[in-house]
């Protein structure tokens, strides 16, 4: 099954490890460091021109990618449930 995460971007649900509220998680330095490290590695893909509200961690522990979306995590969850 696929889930639309913004605009024309859809991800396979089996590849999604987690969906996180960007405002709540970036409060902690360790999370900011993780996102910074992923950005330096070129592993962050922004699927919106708007301010991101969530990030999705996809792939495997060894080879993961972060997608930035303008959708709230609750919206993504609702799309998964329907």
- Taking residues 19-30, what's their average pLDDT? 94
Say what the pLDDT of residue 17 is: 95
Question: What's the rounded mean pLDDT across residues 16-28?
Answer: 94
Residues 64-80 as b/e (b if ≥16 CB within 10 A, e otherwise) read: ebbbbbbbebebbeeee
Distances (CA, A) of 45 to 51, 69, 70, 81, 82: 13, 9, 12, 24, 25
Please give the mean pLDDT across all residues of the chain. 93
Residue 22: phi and psi, rounded to 5, are -65, -35
pLDDT digits over 38-67, tens only? 999 999 999 999 999 999 999 987 889 999
Greater pLDDT, 7 or 38? 38
Chain-centre distance for alpha carbon 1: 17
């Amino acid at each position: 099954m696929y889930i639309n995460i913004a605009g024309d971007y859809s991800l396979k649900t089996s590849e999604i490890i987690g969906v996180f509220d960007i405002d709540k998680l970036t409060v902690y330095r360790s999370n900011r460091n993780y996102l910074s490290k992923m950005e330096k590695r070129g592993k962050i893909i922004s699927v919106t021109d708007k301010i991101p509200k969530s990030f999705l961690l996809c792939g495997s522990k060894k080879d993961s990618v972060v997608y930035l979306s303008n959708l709230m995590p609750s919206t993504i969850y609702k799309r998964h449930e329907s």
